[in-house]
Amino acid sequence: MERRKAIKLIGLFGLASCVPTKLSSQVVNNTCDICKNAWESLGKFTRRRYQFRYIKPYTNLPKVFIYGDSVSIGYTEYVRASLKDKACVYRLHTNGQSSNHFIARMEAMRKKMFQPYLKGGWNFQWDAIHFNVGLHDLKYLAGKKLDKENGKQVSTLKIYEDNLHKIIKYLKANYPKAKLIFATTTPVPEGAEGRFAGDSIKYNKVALNVMKQYPEVLVNDLFTFSVPVLKEHGVKKGDVHYKAEGSRLQGIQVSKKIANAIGIKPIECPSTDIINAQFKAYESKKKN
């Protein structure tokens, strides 16, 4: 994209913040630098990647949290764009990986960012938590490499089931006011490296049986939604990831589920050109 066009696109939509400048006086507290510094100390992604940048919390907007793998990283910015001026949307400071990592990574963020662990830190509660684990549970690894012939599966169905119970109990105990939304695991295509096609269906069956025991947890069937999206907008044959338009469509779907859960209305999601221009502008600035 030409630089002039990119600048024009950014001007139309603005470098994404959760709210306009006129609401700056309504930040939750006046110690944003403390929180921003703490956030950026969570890992390398938070210091340079657009999806992981620090988002200021505002008192008059709901606080939404996304936990997930690289697929969720892809759609995060489109959720933010769809809920612009409607909610402050955060995501985990890193790739969520398998269900084995969920609680530890949530705790790392909680103890880094929230009061009383951080003096002058966040003191709000999440209004909604949209979460998914599974794509990294069903993969096969030989050492650190994907290998479905010689590798070992990260989590058996039984381990995955047990972990989901632990995760939900953890979320309910620590974030009792949050609307919990579980997203089913996105599809594994034929020929995927380190993963078998059809395993998403097996793991989602287990997950949905677990969710039946917690009727208060909403379900976003992102698997069913993503089947045609992957066919049309997959990165390449055998890849579990999506091109920008695929991530945009997923982001719109996720934003609808979140908005419905907390009683807000999403706006029209901008094009991938606009979001990509924001990516480039932000990350180019970080490199300089």
Q: pLDDT tens, 32-81?
A: 799 999 999 999 899 989 999 999 999 999 999 999 999 999 999 999 99
Phi-psi group of 263: left, alpha or beta (phi > 0 → left; psi -120 to 50 → alpha; rest → beta): left
Sequence ranges of the domains in the chain: 3-287
What CATH number labels 3-287?
3.40.50.1110
Residue 116 preceded by cis peptide, ω within 30: yes
Q: Rounded to the nearest 5 degrees, what angle is found at the Cα of 183, between the Cα atoms of 115 and 198?
A: 140
Banded model confidence at residue 207, pLDDT cuts 50, 70, 90:
very high
CA distance 68 to 76: 10
Q: pLDDT tens, 133-144?
A: 999 999 999 999
pLDDT at 286: 73
Banded model confidence at residue 175, pLDDT cuts 50, 70, 90:
very high
Q: pLDDT tens, 223-278?
A: 999 999 999 999 999 999 999 999 999 999 999 999 999 999 999 999 999 999 99
Contact (CB, 8 A) for 248 and 78: yes
Sign of the Cα torsion 41, 43, 49, 50 reads negative
Q: What is the pTM of this model?
A: 0.90
